């Protein structure tokens, strides 16, 4: 069943067309790994998807993470739930977080191993820790579809698996742009390869051959 679809979209930087026209359907319950060499247009495609589907409750985890360094880890994660709370509740939380919200957020942080940093300013954390905060925010948001750009690029092996596991468990439908092909294959049901401004590969993961991937790089 199609969850969302792009039809003949194009990305331009000024007069230069960098991507498309391309069409893509997201099937409900499916995790897509978006692969391709650096600069192929993975991030551009993700950002196009986000522009098209934002109003339909799609969550975004950008490559630059989009965290607020001056706010605590807690507040950054809480931002994933802003739309579900009243303005007053959100306003009070900036000054004094509610206990029941803390009780919901702490387990997410525990899963990702950063609960001890809950009240630290996000700007003081290492790159890997900040990536886990962005993942925690996406997990707390818990919408239907996730668009994540290199969600585990700053993490070591076991932690990368923990983060990707938690994200794919929370979001049944997801598009993960990844440069690590092994991880991409392990956490996806379908692989979409980008090359020369278009989709060069679109296969269920179990059918993807090494030669298919090599042609992308």
Using CB under 8 A, list all residues that contact another protein: 50, 54-62, 64-71, 75, 79-84, 87, 90-91, 94, 134, 137, 141, 143
Rounded Cα distance between 189 and 206, Å, is 8
Least Cβ distance, residue 72 to another protein (angstroms): 10
Nearer to another protein, 95 or 103 (CB): 95
Least Cβ distance, residue 146 to another protein (angstroms): 11
Cβ burial of 27 (10 Å; 0-12, 13-18, 19+) is middle
**Letter string b/e over residues 60-80, b meaning 16 or more CB atoms within 10 A of that residue's CB:** bbbbebebeeebbbbbbbbbb
In 10 A of CB 90, how many CB atoms? Answer: 15
Nearer to another protein, 79 or 194 (CB): 79
Least Cβ distance, residue 57 to another protein (angstroms): 6
In 10 A of CB 186, how many CB atoms? Answer: 14
Nearer to another protein, 98 or 217 (CB): 98
Nearer to another protein, 54 or 116 (CB): 54
Three-state DSSP at 24 gives strand
Least Cβ distance, residue 76 to another protein (angstroms): 8
């Amino acid at each position: 069943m199609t969850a969302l679809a792009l039809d003949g979209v194009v990305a331009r930087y000024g007069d230069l067309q960098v991507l498309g026209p391309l069409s893509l359907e997201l099937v409900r319950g499916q995790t897509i790994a978006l692969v391709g060499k650096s600069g192929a247009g993975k991030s551009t495609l993700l950002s196009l998807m986000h522009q098209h589907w934002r109003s339909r409750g799609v969550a975004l985890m950008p490559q630059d993470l989009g965290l607020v360094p001056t706010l605590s880890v807690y507040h950054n994660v809480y931002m994933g739930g802003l739309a579900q709370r009243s303005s007053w509740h959100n306003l009070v939380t900036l000054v004094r977080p509610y206990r029941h919200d803390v009780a919901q957020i702490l387990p997410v942080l525990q899963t990702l191993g950063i609960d001890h940093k809950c009240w630290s300013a996000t700007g003081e954390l290492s790159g890997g820790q900040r990536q886990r905060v962005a993942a925690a925010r996406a997990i707390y948001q818990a919408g239907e579809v996730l668009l994540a750009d290199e969600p585990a690029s700053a993490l070591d092996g076991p932690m990368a698996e923990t983060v990707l596991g938690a994200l794919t468990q929370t979001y049944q439908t997801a598009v993960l742009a990844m440069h690590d092909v092994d991880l991409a294959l392990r956490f996806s049901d379908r692989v979409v390869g980008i090359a020369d401004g278009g989709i060069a590969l679109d296969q269920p993961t179990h059918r993807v051959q090494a030669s298919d991937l090599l042609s992308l790089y």
